[in-house]
Structure 1
Amino acid sequence: MTRLRFATPDGGEIFPAVRQLLLAGYSGRSEIDVDKHLAEMRALGVAVPQKVPVFHPAMTCLLTQGDRVEVIGPDSRPEVEFVLFACEGTDYVTVGNDQFDLATERHYSAQKSKSLCQKVVASTAWPLSEVRGHWDRLVLELRCGDRLLQAGSVDGILTPASLVERVQKQQAFNRDHGILFSGTVPMLAPVEHDMLDFSIALRDPVLGRVIGCDFQVVDITCRVG
């Protein structure tokens, strides 16, 4: 179990106890977009699933709200995603980064690649009810300094209700004790090996607010001296 802490718009705090972590993949709303993503991954040498979307279970101890994302090896890549969970009967959304190891995904499996990297989530969350009416206006962003690496509306990803419905058809998922990463939006620019400092954001242009966090990717296999 991992205990997280989130600030909420009413000035309060919530402390969900997370016992299950699921990471969605190939979760695009459009079949054309999903097929395009599958083709991109095949071009990278990654074996793609026969059935989509997929939901990879991961250890809850990988979750962090710190400013460091520890990884094993030099080949990891970030992906900005919205993140769903519930606490005390209320559904929430925040933003997170599903860091994964590209080399491991190419040669072994997506499941193993995701287990080599921590998953950062922001320290603020919005009640889902506050954004449900204008959900498709929300925007996800990933940056390295001034360089925009990912940006896209969440209308390219399955809705929260659809994601939860799909995952519950495949496996047991209790929103009161679980966290679900959504899958991501398209890349606008490649992530280079020397890029280590990133920021992620979930923007709400209707209510004029943003959830975000900054983090540094740290390869724990590197040693100085």
Structure 2
Amino acid sequence: MRMKSAVLRKDGVSGEVLLSWDACVAAGYTGRDQAGVLAHVEELRKIGVPAPEKVPSMYWVEPERVSNTGLLWVVGEFSSGEGEVFLARDERGNLCVTVASDHTDRALETVSVAKAKQACSKVIGSLFWRVDEVRGHWDSIELRTWNDGKLYQEGTLGKMLPPEKLFELAREDAPAGTGRLALFSGTLPVLGEGIVYGTRYVLSLKDPVLGREIRHEYSVRVLPDRN
């Protein structure tokens, strides 16, 4: 998969880069705090999703299913987004990051999490930052998701495993001949009573040190689920 995107440098200069990856993985249950991981497991248990075989977990998805679309088509009414970050490398090998949503079919997730991840395209922002320019304050970067206008998820990247550890785990789990990897980081527990099946998501990645933000919005269109 190859994708042209914009990268905003810390000096305020932006430029076009070509990101590429041969395989893509959606990491799951990646919280550094075990209580946060268990909270997400409980959220999913309430809608019938069994506990994972191990944590963290790696769910491999088709590389072409990653998109910076503003309109996502899904089958059935039981899918939802998850605020995350997406990591991929440019043509020079620089690791870049943007805000993302690992949109997932929750009904199918009760049968197979891996198949549920594959069922929905994954949404990423159109603007990236260089990881080497934010790595020194990575843990303080703020991730937020709004679901149909209500704040749905909120926390810092310090609540999830750092990028180096995520890629290490992904490489250990990768199928043979995987090549260059792109990665979704895993998510934060939702606020409130549990997972909500929304139709409009706003994703935000805010850097309080450099005073900048990446935002991406997308709407969900539901197609009928038929036998």
Ranges in structure 2 where 5+ consecutive residues have no aligned partner: none
What's the counterpart of residue 15 of structure 1? 18
Corresponding position: 1:98 with 2:97: no
CA distance in 1, matches of 2:176, 2:206: 27
Contact in 2 for aligned 1:25/1:55 (Cα 8 Å): yes
Q: CA deviation at 1:176?
A: 7.6
Letter of the aligned partner of 2:61 in structure 1? Answer: A
Contact in 1 for aligned 2:31/2:160 (Cα 8 Å): yes
Aligned CA-pair RMSD:
2.2
What's the counterpart of residue 202 of structure 1? 205
CA distance in 2, matches of 1:44, 1:140: 24
Q: Deviation digits for residues 114-165 of structure 1, max 9, x if unmatched?
A: 1221111101111101111111111111113541111111111100111111
What's the counterpart of residue 89 of structure 1? 93
For these two proteins, the number of residue pairs brought into alignment is: 220
What's the counterpart of residue 217 of structure 1? 220
- The alpha-carbon distance between structure 1 residues 163 and 192, as it changes in their structure 2 partners (threshold 3 A), is closer
Contact in 2 for aligned 1:142/1:200 (Cα 8 Å): yes
Contact in 1 for aligned 2:43/2:195 (Cα 8 Å): no
Letter of the aligned partner of 2:120 in structure 1? Answer: C
What's the counterpart of residue 168 of structure 2? 165
1:55-204 matched pairs, under 5 angstroms: 55-87=58-90, 88-106=92-110, 108-171=111-174, 177-189=180-192, 190=194, 192-193=196-197, 195-204=198-207
Q: CA deviation at 1:80?
A: 0.6
CA distance in 1, matches of 2:210, 2:172: 33
SS in 1 for 2:14: coil
Q: Mean Cα displacement is larger for which, 76-85 or 14-23?
A: 14-23
Q: CA deviation at 1:36?
A: 3.0
- The alpha-carbon distance between structure 1 residues 130 and 173, as it changes in their structure 2 partners (threshold 3 A), is farther
Q: CA deviation at 1:105?
A: 0.8
Letter of the aligned partner of 2:63 in structure 1? Answer: T
Letter of the aligned partner of 1:5 in structure 2? Answer: K
Q: Deviation digits for residues 56-113 of structure 1, max 9, x if unmatched?
A: 111122111121112121100110101111112111111111000111111x111111
Letter of the aligned partner of 1:148 in structure 2? Answer: L
CA distance in 2, matches of 1:183, 1:192: 17
CA distance in 1, matches of 2:176, 2:215: 26
- The alpha-carbon distance between structure 1 residues 6 and 169, as it changes in their structure 2 partners (threshold 3 A), is same
CA distance in 2, matches of 1:186, 1:34: 8
SS in 1 for 2:127: coil
Q: Mean Cα displacement is larger for which, 171-180 or 16-25?
A: 171-180
CA distance in 2, matches of 1:188, 1:93: 24
Contact in 2 for aligned 1:7/1:13 (Cα 8 Å): yes
CA distance in 2, matches of 1:161, 1:172: 19
Identity of aligned residues (%): 33
- The alpha-carbon distance between structure 1 residues 141 and 173, as it changes in their structure 2 partners (threshold 3 A), is farther
- The alpha-carbon distance between structure 1 residues 37 and 122, as it changes in their structure 2 partners (threshold 3 A), is same
CA distance in 2, matches of 1:89, 1:74: 39
Contact in 1 for aligned 2:102/2:184 (Cα 8 Å): yes
